[in-house]
Structure 1
């Protein structure tokens, strides 16, 4: 549970810093268009901070953090989110600097981040299956 709390706190901090960076960087570059930087703030707060708080509540209720599939969730989900947001920052900075065409590496790496997020979500669902089944059985007994 402590790892989930720390992850939530880190994502909250990163989300707020991403919003600050977006505003500061675009103003300093005199940029007024649309950029990927604009959504890094919300991605970190929603997919990082809020998801970690929800999983923390699930762990407090269902004790899921001891399973091997939960370890897979935590590692792959966090790696996927950090990779995805990192590519968003990279792509956003290129957009602010006027780069209209980006290398195929940008969507490729972003896709890898999304794949890791998906693997993490599946692992979370697997780690929830037995505790939810047991909780339902206890209520019916």
Structure 2
């Protein structure tokens, strides 16, 4: 359970830092409109901090970290989330600075963002399968009593 809370703290710090970066970077560059930077703060806090705080509750009840596929979840989810956050950061900075990026670079960023979302999806699906197995296991144990 402690590992989830530590991970939640990490994502909370990252989420708050990116929120400050968004506000200050856009203000410094005189940008009033919304950019991709605006999404980093919310994504990091919800998909990072809130998600792992909820997982700490599931760990207490279901011991989800004991499942073999938990390592798959942990790797895919965190890599996917960090990739997504990274691409939001790159896209947002280029928007604020009004950089003219090539069509190829634009497509490459979109492709990497897609891979990040796929990785995040694999992690989420894996966690849902773990929770399904854990609840069935708990139901079987309570029925035997």
TM-score scaled by length of structure 2: 0.91
CA–CA distance in structure 2, aligned partners of residues 60 and 98 of structure 1: 48
TM-score scaled by length of structure 1: 0.93
What's the Cα RMSD here?
Answer: 1.4
Q: Which residue of 1 aligns with 2:112?
A: 109
Q: Which residue of 2 aligns with 1:28?
A: 28
SS of residue in 1 equivalent to 2:69: helix
CA–CA distance in structure 1, aligned partners of residues 2 and 76 of structure 2: 18
Q: Deviations over 1:75-98 (max 9, x none)?
A: 110110000010001000000011
Q: Does 1:90 align with 2:90?
A: yes
CA–CA distance in structure 1, aligned partners of residues 133 and 32 of structure 2: 50
Q: Does 1:15 align with 2:15?
A: yes
Structure 1 residue 139, shift from structure 2 partner: 4.1
Q: Which residue of 1 aligns with 2:52?
A: 52
Q: How many residues align?
A: 141
- Give the unaligned 5+ runs of structure 2: none
Q: Deviations over 1:17-39 (max 9, x none)?
A: 01000001001111112200011
SS of residue in 1 equivalent to 2:35: coil
CA–CA distance in structure 2, aligned partners of residues 5 and 76 of structure 1: 19
- Give the unaligned 5+ runs of structure 1: none
CA–CA distance in structure 1, aligned partners of residues 143 and 65 of structure 2: 25
CA–CA distance in structure 1, aligned partners of residues 12 and 6 of structure 2: 10
CA–CA distance in structure 2, aligned partners of residues 104 and 139 of structure 1: 52
Structure 1 residue 5, shift from structure 2 partner: 1.5
Structure 1 residue 129, shift from structure 2 partner: 2.4
Q: Which residue of 2 aligns with 1:4?
A: 4
